[in-house]
Amino acid sequence: MTYAAPIAQANHSKPSLDVNTLVEGIQACYDCAQACIADADADLAEPRIQEMLRCVRLCLDCADVCLATGGMLSRQTAFDPPTARAALQACVQTCTVCGDECEHHAHQGFAHCQTCLEACRRCEQACNTTVLTFLASLPA
Amino acid sequence: MTYAAPIAQANHSKPSLDVNTLVEGIQACYDCAQACIADADADLAEPRIQEMLRCVRLCLDCADVCLATGGMLSRQTAFDPPTARAALQACVQTCTVCGDECEHHAHQGFAHCQTCLEACRRCEQACNTTVLTFLASLPA
Amino acid sequence: MTYAAPIAQANHSKPSLDVNTLVEGIQACYDCAQACIADADADLAEPRIQEMLRCVRLCLDCADVCLATGGMLSRQTAFDPPTARAALQACVQTCTVCGDECEHHAHQGFAHCQTCLEACRRCEQACNTTVLTFLASLPA
Amino acid sequence: MTYAAPIAQANHSKPSLDVNTLVEGIQACYDCAQACIADADADLAEPRIQEMLRCVRLCLDCADVCLATGGMLSRQTAFDPPTARAALQACVQTCTVCGDECEHHAHQGFAHCQTCLEACRRCEQACNTTVLTFLASLPA
């Protein structure tokens, strides 16, 4: 994700929050979306797939919410803080639940779930940081 | 959207909420997503596009969130109520703000914004109904 | 999908092809995307899921391609025929292969695959009609 | 995009093509999708937006196709070469046309279009490399 920072800086609509925070949020969302799509597929290839179904489902949810949130953060024009906050909160919720499920399977030795867990935790933290930045400075 | 109901009913994972409510939520989300993508484009074709920029932006946000929510509602296996609730709340928020912006332009005579307004209000209502159903019966 | 036709007609950017053809293409793409997301989930709930893995995978591919194509058809401003044609051809290909896989399972009695098959065949046909319209009248 | 390689390697469904080629294709698709969403928004913020409308439109198309292709490449289970090839060809087409439009604006001094151009050219090349790998070794 080499391109998020230079495009954000060249945009005449100035970002509503710190650029470094914003860019990390964008990168974390897209990286987590890809990791979740790939992890859902790796789950399908497991011999005991019946035990991975909740992981497949939550990974698909998480990918969808991360892409929506990453798209919203990528736009600076007419940025609407309450709308971004609601999307970020949904992303935190989804990444937390999906990360917990991946952590369960990571402890069982599934390397792809360990990697997806890391992606979910990073995205949860990046979205939480962005929400806390918002909640401290912007109207509800 | 002829297919949502029969697939939901044939799914061995029974839905966590009333099928009619679920199917209306799914239909409203996908219909609103398409309306928002089309309305953002119709905004671009307006001579006084500078006045439509907030509408373009919110329509793109709304399309993304509606697609994520519609996907989540389309899955019944290992349905996670708190995750669905957070997505539905983000969808209500985004549809409300986008619908308000479209209403402003509908009053100015933009027919495409009038249609998109209807899609946003219907989706807002469908998601709210689903959230209220959840909130009344499921843990936080 | 009540909204595609009125927004297409209110758009100042006139569509590059017959509105009825366009609207059917849009509806078929979004309906097929939802059907495929729901069918992939219904596959996960089947006791003999090992036999459904190719169906899950192709349904996820098909949903992604249908959403991209449905979005592209929903935009009329600066419509680029060769780009639309390439997307439509990818959509025909994906719907054909996904529909064939669903047909295999429909013959085994899976009602959700029967419904998804119908969505794929309709979308394949709608995209093919649109491509043939293009190929007959527009440069390569 | 730190996660694509380790999840691809941990997936029991072995990839149908060289992992390095695959991972570069995945990264290029997601990076280009984000760049295009951000560039479309930066275009909206330009004073002479009327001259940027084709760029906005093609960036939205390109983002959609790149996300569909990136998702398809992220899945290894039951990989279908002709379906992937059609998606990759659509992605090459869309990235080429969008990149050409961005190049036009980059020459006019728009820094955000210069960055998006680089993302489009890289994705076009990565998808082309993947197609050529396929076309050399797999049935039509």
pLDDT band for position C17 (cuts 50, 70, 90): confident
Read off the pLDDT of each residue in A17-46 and give the average, rounded to a whole number. Answer: 96
Residue B35 and residue C26 in contact, taking contact as beta carbons nearer than 8 Å: no
- Give me the half-sphere count of Cα atoms (radius 13 Å) on the Cβ side of residue A1: 27
Q: Find, in chain A, the residue whose alpha carbon is nearest to that of C58.
A: A41
Residue whose structure tokens are 């860019």:
A23
Residue C39 and residue C101 in contact, taking contact as beta carbons nearer than 8 Å: no
d(CA D31, CA D70): 10
In this predicted structure, the answer to whether residue B140 has a pLDDT above a threshold of 60 is no
More confident residue, C132 or D89: D89
What is the predicted pLDDT for the residue at A77? Answer: 97
Q: What is the mean pLDDT of chain B?
A: 94
What is the predicted pLDDT for the residue at C136? Answer: 65
- Taking the CA of residue D137 and the nearest CA in chain C, the distance in Å comes to 19
pLDDT band for position D42 (cuts 50, 70, 90): very high
The ipTM assigned to this model is 0.96
CB within 8 Å of chain B, chain C residues 14-53: 26, 30-31, 33-35, 37-39, 41-42, 44-47
What is the predicted pLDDT for the residue at D140? Answer: 55
* b/e burial code for range A103-138 (CB count within 10 A of at least 16 → b): bebbeeebebbbbbbbbbbbbbebbbbbbebbeeee
What is the predicted pLDDT for the residue at D138? Answer: 65
Read off the pLDDT of each residue in B125-129 and give the average, rounded to a whole number. Answer: 97
- Taking the CA of residue A14 and the nearest CA in chain D, the distance in Å comes to 9
In this predicted structure, the answer to whether residue D83 has a pLDDT above a threshold of 90 is yes
User: Percent of chain A scored above 70 by pLDDT?
Assistant: 95
pLDDT band for position D3 (cuts 50, 70, 90): very high
Sign of CA dihedral C92, C94, C100, C103: negative
What is the predicted pLDDT for the residue at A135? Answer: 65
Instruction: Convert the pLDDT of each residue in D88-107 to its tens digit.
Output: 999 999 999 999 999 999 99
Read off the pLDDT of each residue in B13-25 and give the average, rounded to a whole number. Answer: 91
Structure tokens at D44: 């909206």
d(CA D67, CA C37): 16
Chains near D, with 3+ CB pairs < 8 A? Answer: A, B, C
Is D86–C93 a contact, with Cβ atoms under 8 angstroms apart? Answer: yes
Instruction: Convert the pLDDT of each residue in A56-79 to its tens digit.
Output: 999 999 999 999 999 999 999 999
Read off the pLDDT of each residue in B17-29 and give the average, rounded to a whole number. Answer: 94
Nearest in space to B64 (alpha carbons), one of A33, A22, A40: A33
d(CA C22, CA C44): 33
What is the predicted pLDDT for the residue at B15? Answer: 87
What is the predicted pLDDT for the residue at A89? Answer: 97
Is B111–C39 a contact, with Cβ atoms under 8 angstroms apart? Answer: no
Which of D6, D76, D115 is closest, CB to CB, to A7? D115
* b/e burial code for range C89-118 (CB count within 10 A of at least 16 → b): bbbbbbbbbbbebbbebbeeebebbbbbbb
In this predicted structure, the answer to whether residue B136 has a pLDDT above a threshold of 80 is no
What is the predicted pLDDT for the residue at C117? Answer: 98
Instruction: Convert the pLDDT of each residue in C64-96 to its tens digit.
Output: 999 999 999 999 999 999 999 999 999 999 999
Read off the pLDDT of each residue in D80-87 and give the average, rounded to a whole number. Answer: 95
In this predicted structure, the answer to whether residue C140 has a pLDDT above a threshold of 90 is no
Chains near A, with 3+ CB pairs < 8 A? Answer: B, C, D
Read off the pLDDT of each residue in B120-136 and give the average, rounded to a whole number. Answer: 90
Read off the pLDDT of each residue in B76-91 and give the average, rounded to a whole number. Answer: 96
B37, B39, B44, B52: which to substitute to probe chain D, counting the most D Cβ within 10 Å?
A: B44
Instruction: Convert the pLDDT of each residue in D109-134 to its tens digit.
Output: 999 999 999 999 999 999 999 998 87
Lowest mean pLDDT among A65-79, A114-128, C6-20, C35-49: C6-20
pTM over 0.90: yes
What is the predicted pLDDT for the residue at D80? Answer: 95
Residue D19 and residue D8 in contact, taking contact as beta carbons nearer than 8 Å: yes
pLDDT band for position B32 (cuts 50, 70, 90): very high
What is the predicted pLDDT for the residue at D115? Answer: 98
- Taking the CA of residue B111 and the nearest CA in chain A, the distance in Å comes to 22
Q: What is the mean pLDDT of chain A?
A: 94
User: Percent of chain C scored above 70 by pLDDT?
Assistant: 95
In this predicted structure, the answer to whether residue B105 has a pLDDT above a threshold of 60 is yes
What is the predicted pLDDT for the residue at D54? Answer: 98
Instruction: Convert the pLDDT of each residue in D48-73 to its tens digit.
Output: 999 999 999 999 999 999 999 999 99
